[in-house]
Structure formats: structure tokens, C-alpha cells
A and B are shown apart, each in its own frame.
Chain A
């Protein structure tokens, strides 16, 4: 069973793909921080940040439609959280409406917060998509480990990446087994959703036990190859001149955008 990769397009060939994963992780972090501290009224800054991302997406030869589609995925979550903000804000009231029993007002500041939260999360999502589409997951893990993320955390992520598809396959097989025995008109126990829920509950329990047993076997395979609780890895990452160049140019771009907004 083939699944879509988390790190789709990460094996393209572009200047961005050839950077050291640490460079990409650190610059992504810097970008997200810079976006976060930008005042909500800096339209110019947001435009510049967006063009910076657009430039990098083109440089990385990523399909634009794919990037836009993926970045749109975060919007519903952001909107769900932020959509009520305009009604809570204090300040200049832009309009009042009667909704059944309540009288609600929309404030100027509230709308501004909604706008900036949405734009900032979208820009950050763009940066993360750029990171994950230009870095193989295995390289991302190596990079994280070498910028100081604790090894245990990196290992948990590594196992998650390795086994999430195995588990997904297992769920799919269980669903097929259930569906092929689920003869709708003849459902026992009066049929209906209660029975469905009970089946799903059993499946979750089975999945848990199977995963637990698999974990034991995997641990056995690790011990058999000399694992003694100490995680050891090879460091085969190398900063090159291109990394230095990219780091300097990118930081300069962020600083310039920051300065322009201060002056403007």
C-alpha cells in the first residue's frame, strides 16, 4: 500500500535542496520568529515576507499549486480559533448587530487581530511547507538532532515516521475485514450506530495490542544488534559555503524587512 509522503518533493534537485538541513531548520525558525514579532499594521512587511517565500518556492522548483493547496489546510483551524476575536475586542466599534438575544459589536482592533493572526499563521505554514518539501524526513531528523533537540525526542519522531504507515495499513486491513462481513440489512443487535461504535472500539483495542506487541518485537530486533539503551548516530552533515551564503542573504533579507517597517 502506497501512501502520500510527508516529505513529498523532497528529492527534487535545486539549490535549496542541496543546503544542509540545519541551515533550513534555523532559517525557517528565524523566519517564523520574524513574522511573529511584526506589528499587525505592517502591510508592507507582510507583502515582502510573502514575496520572499514566493521567491524561495520558485527557487526550490516546487509546484506553486501544491504549496498553495497545502498551506490552505491551516486556514480553517486558524479561522475557527480567531473568528470570534473581532467580537471580543475593545476599542472603536465598527458595527453592531442584533443576533437573536444578543447584541454583538465588531471592533476595529478585533478585526486587525483576526487579520494578523491569519496572515502570520499562513506565512509560517508556508515556511514549514517549504522546509518539509525540500528536506527528506530522515535528514530533517538528523538536522534536528544536531541543532540540539534531545535525542529521545528525535527518536520518537523517527519511530513515528517509520511506523505510522505500517499502522495505517493495519487499520485499513481491519476496516476491509469488517466491511466484508458487514451485511447491512441483517445487522444483529438491532443494527445501527451503537453496533458500529462497538466495532470501532474493538478495532482500536486490537490495534493497541498489536502495536504493543510490535514494539516488543522491534525492541528485540534492536537488542539483537547490540542496542544497550544508548542512542548512537553518525554525523554526516556538512556546512558548505552555500549554507553560509544562504544564511547571510536570508538573515539580511529578514533584517531589511524589519528595518523598512520600523522606518515606514
Chain B
């Protein structure tokens, strides 16, 4: 049952300007897990996510998805299996209509027309946005945009859903609706976020990153109740009275 879906071994990454974003990261994610990546701004969460489908590739360390190395000849396969949703839906939704955007992935995968329509339909149903096909993304609310953004990768039938800050900029109701929606999707999920409440409700495992390193990796309740650990890495109020 414990099928390793993502394996990262000794991954380090340095941006062209010399900033070292990831430092010797090793982790394994099994099928069906929901994993949260938490950590202060600049901890390397987004950089790590970009390695999961080969948008960024580093010569130092190995990333394997479903047993395949993230390398040129597996990129097409890996990108259809790992659905990466960017933080800002304005970046994720770049087509004139919702339909075009949700169909973009399946079209690039070379699906026949009838299947593309069926996939778009199904993906929009999954995020409860059926009937929005002809709308222009600019005229949707933030919550609607976030849902459509998720649909744009669901239409590729991925096995892993990778989300960068899915609840940012949402009002409380929109946020809870999104958490419920994500909970209902039977996929392996990797979520980078500052929203610890969502982590508590959605992810059984939490990985704490700081300055490009894994600081802690374990069951969510254990990590989120460790006030000292959270405070040390800027995720909780500083503990008063400590010398």
C-alpha cells in the first residue's frame, strides 16, 4: 500500500543570483498522503514545489515521481501526473475563457476532442463550477478563480495535486469551502501554506522548512502543538518571558 509517489534525495538549489533556496532536502511521499509544507517567507516552499514537475531542475540531488527521474524524457509524463497550481490565479488562468483554460492541459496531452470536452466537464463539476465554461476569467471572484485554477489541473487526471498557498486572499467562507473541496478530492496532496488552520484540518503530515532546510517532518498534531518549534521559525507569536 505504501507506494512511494515522490522521492527526493539530497536536493539543493541555488538561484542564478546566488541565493541558496534549498539545502540538502530529502523526503518521501506515499500515495494518498496529504502533506503540508509550512515555514516562514523565503523558506524555500515554492521553490521545492517547482521541482516536483521539473519547472526548476537542479543538478544537485535527485527527484523521482512515480519512480521516474524528473528528466527531459519523462517530463511530459510527469507533468500530466503532477498537477501544479500556482499561487496567483491570474497567472494560472491565461486563456480568454474558462473552457479554453481547463482544456489547455488535455489538448496539450493530445486527447481526442470528445474526451477533452468530457474531461473539462468533469473537472468543472469536481470544483462545483459547472456552467462557467464561456466566462472570462477576469470577471470572476477570487474564490471562483481559485476553483477554476484547480480545475485546470484536474482535467489532466493527475495523481498528485501540488498547491501553492491555495487559501491566500480568500474570505473565511471561501476559505472553508475550498478546504472542504480539497478534502473531497481523492488525490495525493502537497500544499505549501501559512494557513495552519487549514493544515490542521486537511493534512495528516507536516514538513517544516526554514532557510532551505527541513527542520521538522512528522504528524501534523505533534508539530502544530510544539509552540517552541513554531515560534522559533516565525509561525507563532514569540514566547514571552524567555531569555
- What residues of chain A have their CB less than 8 Å away from a CB belonging to chain B? 2-3, 136-138, 141, 158-159, 161-163, 165-166, 214, 217-218, 220-228, 232-234
Contacts and interface: CB of A to CB of B under 8 A. Distances in A.
A226 B105 CA distance: 6
B22 interface: no
Interface in B128-153: 134, 136-139, 152-153
B109 interface: yes
Contact of A232 (B79, B108, B153): B108
User: Interface residues of B toward A: which range?
Assistant: 20 to 34
Nearest to A2: B139
Given A136-B134, A166-B138, A234-B107, A221 B79 contact: no
List of 6 A-B pairs having minimum Cβ-Cβ separation, nearest first: A226-B108, A138-B96, A225-B105, A217-B91, A224-B84, A138-B97
A161 to B, nearest CB: 6
A75 B136 CA distance: 31
Q: Is the contact region of chain A dominated by helix, strand, or loop, or is it mixed?
A: helix
Which among A3, A161, A162, A166 has the greatest number of chain B C-beta atoms within 10 A? A162
B88 interface: yes
Contacts of B153: 224-225
A143 to B, nearest CB: 12
Contacts of A162: 93-96, 136-138
Given A224-B55, A226-B76, A233 B107 contact: yes
Contacts of B107: 232-234
B165 interface: no
Given A141-B96, A225-B152, A220 B55 contact: yes
A137 B96 contact: yes
A226 B156 contact: yes
B72 to A, nearest CB: 12
A220 to B, nearest CB: 5
19 contacts: A2-B139, A136-B134, A162-B95, A162-B136, A162-B138, A165-B138, A217-B86, A217-B88, A220-B91, A221-B91, A222-B104, A223-B79, A225-B153, A226-B108, A226-B156, A227-B108, A232-B108, A233-B100, A233-B107
Given A218-B91, A225-B153, 9 more contacts: A158-B95, A159-B94, A162-B138, A214-B90, A223-B55, A224-B84, A225-B108, A226-B79, A234-B103
A158 B55 CA distance: 24
